[in-house]
Amino acid sequence: MEKRVVLFIVLCLGIIIGWDIVMKEYGFAPLNDTSIIDQTEDAPLVEDEEKDQKTVATSSSAETETSEKGQLSLDASQASETDQQEQIETIETPLYRAQISNRGAEITSWQLLRYLTQSEDPLPVELVYAEGQFNEPLSLEVSDQDTTKLFQQGLYTVQRDFSTLDENHPVGHMTMTLQSKEKDLWIQKEFTFHHDSYVVDVVIKSEGIEEDLNVLLGTNFGIVEWGQGFIGSLGPAWMIGEKLEKELPELNESDAVDTKPHVERTGDIRWAALQDKYFMSVVIPENAEGVFAIEELENVITAGVQFPGSSEQQSYAFRLFAGPKQFDLLKDFQLGLEDTIDFGWFIYDSWSVVKAVAKPLFYVLRYFYDYTQNYGIAIILLTVCIKLLFVPLQYKSYKSMQGMQKIQPKVLEIQNKFKDDRERLNKELMKLYKDHKVNPVGGCLPMFLQMPAFISLFNILYMTVDLRQAPFMLWITDLSVPDPYYLLPILMGASMVLQQKIMPTTMDPTQAKMMLILPVFLTFLFLTFPAGLVLYWVTNNVLTITQQFVTDRYIFKKPTFSSPQPSPEIASGSDPIDQKKKKSENESPSENAKGKSKRKNRK
């Protein structure tokens, strides 16, 4: 029975931990795109671009002065200048720094000031995809190519009523307008920024557009690192009605040869998003009729929502969010956005029990952090609480294993005696268990009951952005990256070896030695795991060893490091009945006679 439990644990760990490695090794999962992760090369370009826009800043300053006087309009000379060159508008809040070009009225940069790249020279995380010529966030698209080109390449006139956003000036408005007399159409984008929020309120007004209007969320907007992990989800996601969906674009059999992989859905569109492990961008529309995603290249996806068109003047309103996947921040929308933080296993809604357990554990972890201001200490405290919660189950498991260890010689004797009669064997074993009041599955059942809590905490520590760049102490300065000196994985492996030495076992010495391979295997795997996750495992092992010591010393009154050893017959793997027969055959005739006479005298 114990062999099956051990095999089950090894297989589970192999699937959970080795899935990512195996998939990448054989090319079934995309590798991390370092150009997306850091994007450090784009920062100097942004600085140079700001230097080149000194004349633009002057005109923007002039617009601000006029707007503060309540005149949200450009004079003739400013409008003429705007028509001749591209203008970059910078919006900076305590949370982010965004740049919006008047060419297409599109977002060209969105940097999160409180989150830095994991590089030698940390810079603010950039959410706008900087590689290639793809659609920028908030670009517009219709079925007519000429009109689409006008929307995306035309130079909009700009009006804004703020220069910076802070507590003294918490809200700012900016309007970008484009009018074409040749096509007899007019379009305007109105932006409302808030100094304490990642949300931008956007209203698009149009006239003369009869076709459906696509508002693009952009290409990989919000995807900082495309690393296909064994849990979590990447790429597009949306909610239609009350159903959360995540589906990658793909080709249909009826598609033309030059068609890009795509996916389209219609219905009550509540929101559409592009996401990675820690960050995301979301458009929350009003009255949108469809959502879509297109794969431009491998690991490069464009997404957006579709609004119905009309020849009359139309107004399309939506909210844009671009920031971290913080649970409380997303939950405040009350739209199910917090479910993009995948507390389940592997994919959405794959294990509802795990998700139900994970959310309370996450709240407890945040509660401990509020008091300690250290996520490493919070992880240790949470692990202690979980361990205390399962003490009764673990005690029952330990007691059952002790009982199985005591009757193991009799189990082996019955197995050898009735090895050719499976039905009789099962009956005898069940009778043996009943006579000694031993449950053969009592050792593994408590383990199964703890699995949801274990996997839930595993997912929390692996997925939550709260641990990103969160320090612990000493050399652990970021709980979301591997231990730079590999000390925690080594401690984890050593604690597993010690744990195996003191735990009761029904295995023979050869099998016990074989099981020592498991700590070595896990140590190498955990070298690449986040330090916060390894800290949890080390703490759990230390608590298990402590519990074992207390149980042996003060409950069973036996030394911890002198667990009962199997009998010689069990250790040698021979049949106890055969041993008795051989002993009897090896005795001399005189010894046999003496034995018989003794038995007669007793009678």
581 and 512 in a common domain: no
pLDDT value of position 505: 58
Higher pLDDT, 420 or 147: 147
Among the listed ranges 220-224, 379-383, 429-433, 572-576, which one has the minimum average pLDDT value? Answer: 572-576
Count helices and strands in the chain by DSSP H and E runs? 20, 18
Amino acid 70: pLDDT: 37
Out of 140-149, 164-173, 551-560, least confident range: 551-560
Q: How confident is the model at residue 292 (pLDDT cuts 50, 70, 90)?
A: very high
**26 in a domain, yes or no?**
no
How many angstroms separate the CA atoms of 289 and 305, rounded? 8
495 and 410 housed in the same domain? yes
Q: Is residue 6 part of a domain?
A: no
Q: Looking at residue 507, what is its pLDDT?
A: 57
In a domain, 388, yes or no: yes
Q: Tell me if 436 sits within 8 A of 404, measured CB to CB.
A: no
Q: Poorest-confidence range of 62-71, 230-239, 319-328?
A: 62-71
Q: Which residues of 512-541 are buried (b: 16+ CB within 10 A; e: fewer)?
A: eeebeebbebbbebbeebbbbbbbbbbbbb
Instruction: From 308, 340, 372, give the residue that closes a domain.
Output: 340
Q: What is the mean pLDDT of residues 112-134?
A: 87
Q: Does 473 have pLDDT greater than 80?
A: yes
- For residue 506, the enclosing domain spans 352-566
Q: Residue 61: inside a domain, yes or no?
A: yes
CATH number of residue 199's parent domain: 2.70.98.90
Last residue of a domain, one of 340, 372, 398: 340
Q: Are residues 398 and 252 in the same domain?
A: no
Query: Minimal CA–CA distance to 532: which of 416, 380, 415, 418?
Result: 380
- Nearest 5°: phi and psi at 187? -145, 145
Residues 527, 551 within the same domain:
yes
For residues 127 and 113, the answer to whether their CB atoms sit within 8 Å is: no
**Is 261 found in the same domain as 201?**
yes
**Predicted confidence (pLDDT) per residue in 329-374, tens digit:** 999 999 989 888 877 654 444 456 677 788 888 889 999 999 999 9
Same-domain pairing of 473 and 432? yes
In a domain, 43, yes or no: yes
Last residue of a domain, one of 311, 340, 369: 340
In total, how many domains does the chain have? 3
Residue 266 has pLDDT above 60, yes or no: yes
- If asked whether residues 541 and 586 sit together in one domain, one would say no
Shared domain check, 383 and 307:
no
Per-residue model confidence as pLDDT tens digits over 298-329: 888 999 999 988 777 889 999 999 999 998 89
Indicate whether 374 belongs to any domain.
yes
Q: What is the pLDDT of residues 133-161, one digit of tens each?
A: 788 999 999 998 999 999 999 999 999 99
Q: Assign 79 a pLDDT band (cuts: 50, 70, 90).
A: very low
Task: Flag whether 512 is in a domain.
Answer: yes
In the sheet that holds 279-285, the strands lie side by side as 157-160, 171-180, 185-194, 199-207, 314-324, 279-285, 269-275, 235-240, 243-245
Q: 502 and 392 in one domain? A: yes
Same domain assignment for residues 315 and 441? no
pLDDT for 80-108, tens place per residue?
444 458 899 999 999 999 999 999 999 99
Residues in the chain: 603
Which one has a higher pLDDT value, 576 or 286? Answer: 286
Same domain, residue pair 256 and 394: no
Q: How far apart are CA 206 and CA 147, in angstroms?
A: 13
d(CA 273, CA 291) in angstroms, rounded, equals 10
Please state, rounded to an integer, the average pLDDT across all residues of the chain.
76
User: Domain check: are 230 and 360 in the same one?
Assistant: no
Is 24 within a domain? no
**Is residue 4 predicted with pLDDT exceeding 80?**
no
Question: What are the backbone dihedrals phi and psi of residue 500, each rounded to the nearest 5 degrees, phi first?
Answer: -65, -35
Lowest mean pLDDT among 448-452, 456-460, 474-478: 448-452
Task: Report CA-CA distances (Å) from 42 to 116, 132, 277, 379, 435.
Answer: 14, 12, 22, 36, 75
